[in-house]
Structure 1
Amino acid sequence: MAKFFVSHSIQDHEVVNKFNENFLRLALGVQPEEIFCTSDRGTLQIGGNFNDDILENLKESEVVIFLITKNFLKSKYCLAELGAAWALKKEAYPLLLDELDFSVLQSTPFSGRQSIRFNDKTNIIQFADELRNLNLVNDFSSVLVNSKAEILFDAIKSNESVEEEAPTVEQMSKLESEYREAMNYIKEYEKKIGELEKFIDNLKETKDLNEINKLEMEGSNEEETFENYIGELSRNLSRLDPIVASAIYFNLFSQEEFWAKLDSSRLKRLTASKYIYVDYDELRINYNSDHPKIKKCVRNLKLLDDFLISSPNLVEWLEEKYEEVISLDNINFWLRFFSIHIVI
């Protein structure tokens, strides 16, 4: 999933393009796959559910950026995204364009939340510095950021100069109705989140981590549950040295012992960090099942294995789709879904 979710009005496509291409990508070095923006070609899957795609990426993103314009405030989808981000307690940045002031957020869930007015180039540069200070982007060239900030600011000013017709009474009434519907949806969604959080808290008191993890991974259908497991495991396994991941693979899912010819310093480092145990007499490397990071990975791998065994129809569908054996004892499965190269 993408790191940045950019919420915007489709009518502000020129500003959105300059924000994504010139500011995030060229000035700050954000990769295209790290940005979810419905205006970008190829962002939404053909034939997929538009609303589900948006909600899933909104939930999984690290940061939500709202490009708030007059068009944004008229869009029921934009207001729904605004409310959903608030309900999900996302790290959010409302950016005010079109010479809008902070009062426009008073009737939204983000009333009182710190926001930034993009009413001059300095504020755009300040926003870039904030993203860097929070380690959301890598270090960048100040000269390049200044240049791209000027291009973005020019696009914002051009967007403001477009003449707009004042909405009719009927249009305003419709917008108010749509806003109320969006807020009711958000309240219902927030209620469901609250109920789930309460259920999870109660479950945690039982200290049954397997049941807790199964509940956290459960989606609305088997495919979504599978994707939840893959997403969680990919994030956790990526934090481990490939040798450690390989030791887990061999110890859990292979009939063979694990050994690899490595430089002694690497093995010593992993051993000293309590990730692995090395038996030099038997030429065998075992993972440390008591390490917290490994313990979490092993628990979810076992749960995923049980889930696949109990979901034959899903496995058949995945094998047809990927032309690959869907099993955790298949090293190609680890490469395709976890981006892990098993060392053999």
Structure 2
Amino acid sequence: MKIFISHSSLDNRLVNPLMDLIQTQFGLTRSNFFNTSDEELQAGGQWIEEIKQGMHDSSLVLPVITPNYLESAFCLCELGATWVKSADLIPIIVPPLDYKALNATPFRSVYQTVSLDSEEGLTRLYDAITKRGIGQGNVTRFLSRAKQFSERDLAPFIKEMEQREVVTPALVKNLKADVARYKEAFESSESEMDQLREENKKLRLMKDAKEVKQMDYERMDEWDEFMAAAEEAKSILNSLPRYAVSVLYQNYKSNHEGFFPESDDFSKLTDMESEGMVIYDSGWKPDYGHPKIKKADAALDKLKAVCGNYPHLEERFHEEYPDCRFGLRYSNFWEAIFKISIYKTN
């Protein structure tokens, strides 16, 4: 007597305990079974030929019908081979499938299925095997072991199958339709974004430059705002003579006390005085009547305000410039941020 258990390899955690139940309760041995999940196949062997031979040698086939089984082309081939061979067959239906699972096959009209949906189903399995004169069984002992099998192996498997999403042709069709809609929506949104970018570009060209710059500042984070203000001041200061920058620095450093150069070279300062950039009043001081000096002072005031608005800015500054003091009072701050040299004062 040889029993061929046809099943999906994904279901071995159910099939092996079921084989153990039948074996122990009917006094059989492993040699009475062909079960690919019980290491029946030899490593490196011609496994397809071994399965064909195993089915040929079997007098009873037990296909364990699960969702995994119905999705396996190989399992369906085994089922078809059983039909061709006209072998004795007991289809075992595992919930959540029911007797309708084989409606699309010839087996539903010819063979009586056994559903493992209750104790009664397990009793029918016992009766079906007993009627075929297989081994020596005891129904009371069988049902006692079957109860353990049902609680330990069958119930968890059924629960997992109930939660499993079955990929049906209808589901695939719906998913394809969803993908097409999402693709269309994505392409539409990309087109809208391109249009908005183009409109934004045109608006920026049309709007007042000061309004655009203010909008950019509102979108910046603390460090970006600081660096933008520093860059603005740098571009103005770099257009000024070095002595004019030194006079401006001294004004921030010593609270309007005035600049006294270390050298006796006053010619450049007097030249700038004649241009209206600086003025001598108990020391050299900025002449804020000059457009460039006024513009530079405004940019420096703006940078000073940014520095005061964000208490944590100094920490970031020291990460970027570890050798500098933070603030307009310090010459190395000017030299690091504005990339200029400051003349010393007496």
TM-score, length basis structure 1: 0.46
